Amino acid sequence: MICDLAEANAFVEEYRKPHVPVMSAFGGGRLHVCRFYGSWDLDRMVTDNADTLFRSIRKLSSKEAKDPTREWDDLTFRFGSQAFLYADKDRIIGFAATPVEAEKLVTKFTRKYRKPVPATSNGGTFYLIQQDGENIKTKEVSLSSDTVLKPEALALHYGTGSGEWHHGFVEKLCERTNGLSIFEGRPGTGKTFYLRHLMGELKESHRFYFIPTSTMGILSRPDFIGFWTDQRWHHSNKIFVVILEDSDAALMTRGSDNREQVSAILNLSDGMLADFLRLQIICTINCSTADIDSALLRPGRLICHRIFGRLDYTQATRLAESLGRKLPQARDYSLAEVFAGQATEQITRPNIGFAV
């Protein structure tokens, strides 16, 4: 018999790439897995279960650090010939010969080692999606209470009619299970500022996820669907919203460099896959929608297209006065410029070329 372990993973379980100790213990016999997501105290797990610790990965900070930190990353405990428990900061996974035994392992640890939820203000929360090797994980990020605006403050920040638009947009997010929204505007016009407010207002009904520009390729990974399936199973009472910030390149007319990303957004926001995953996607862009792939703008798929513009001098002055600031000159301003109390300096660059 030849067993190729070259592609095996010594720690976390995957059906495509099995967990080595589990594969060795169960072979072709009965194997049942139970998973639970949360935030866990790995240090206390190791202290309390040192005798059963079977595999581990520990991270050390840089050697140059004055006070190096040590952090557990992956832990595998063995409680019997066919009883394993894997843990990292975000999840606990039990392996056993029956579903009941696997669930008992997980339940025991979730009750004892769950980290207390830190006391937070009344701001919203989003979950940063990260690639950790071949795994997809989330990191919870809490926002402060000052990110949630009162209705009168919303009008000050975004101008006349913004309150009515916001109310209509929230209604659509609550009614629709999937779809695409595009926030267009130059840097500093308040797209991200508004999203923070939205996360706070909808924190009871919606669950927000954020994908950084640097990891946008995760959209086309085959196991991304499995990730959402797990999230849906654990948070079935929430409406999911995915934020793609500065996603110009992913939305541009399809070419050789972005074809997979555009197709992934199309599939996630509409069609049969969208009916299954039930994801709402909000993209922020700095370019014009004229450059966006036309399929993304199809009626029925597009929930909203909002242009975040600069404030005229009257609106900017009202906002500046509410912040205790004065604007240096009469002109239009971006939201960022009002908060800074000054206009962005125009940089003049010398012309480079050939004289005719």
Q: Which residue carries 């997979």 as its tokens?
A: 260
- pLDDT on residue 215: 81
- pLDDT on residue 133: 73
Classify domain 125-307 at the CATH class level.
alpha beta
> pTM value?
0.65
Q: Which residue carries 């695409």 as its tokens?
A: 180
Q: What is the CA radius of gyration of the chain?
A: 25
Q: Which residue carries 């505007």 as its tokens?
A: 185
Q: What's the rounded Cα separation, in Å, for the pair 264 and 20?
A: 33
List the domain boundaries for the chain.
Answer: 20-113, 125-307
> 253 near 246, Cβ under 8 Å?
no
How far does Cα 292 stand from its chain's mean position?
23
- pLDDT on residue 240: 92
Per-position pLDDT tens, the chain of length 356 = 344 444 445 555 444 344 677 888 888 889 999 988 878 889 999 999 999 999 998 887 655 555 667 788 889 999 999 999 999 888 899 999 999 999 999 998 888 888 775 544 578 999 999 887 778 888 899 999 889 998 889 999 998 889 999 999 999 999 888 888 989 999 899 999 999 999 999 998 999 999 888 887 787 787 888 888 888 888 888 899 999 988 777 676 555 555 566 676 766 777 677 777 788 989 898 877 666 767 677 777 788 889 999 999 999 999 999 888 888 888 899 999 998 876 655 444 444 444 43
β-pair type (179-184, 279-285): parallel
| Exposure of 355 in the CB half-sphere (CA atoms within 13 A) | 0
Q: What's the rounded Cα separation, in Å, for the pair 231 and 50?
A: 31
Residue type, 75: L
- pLDDT on residue 66: 59
- pLDDT on residue 123: 86
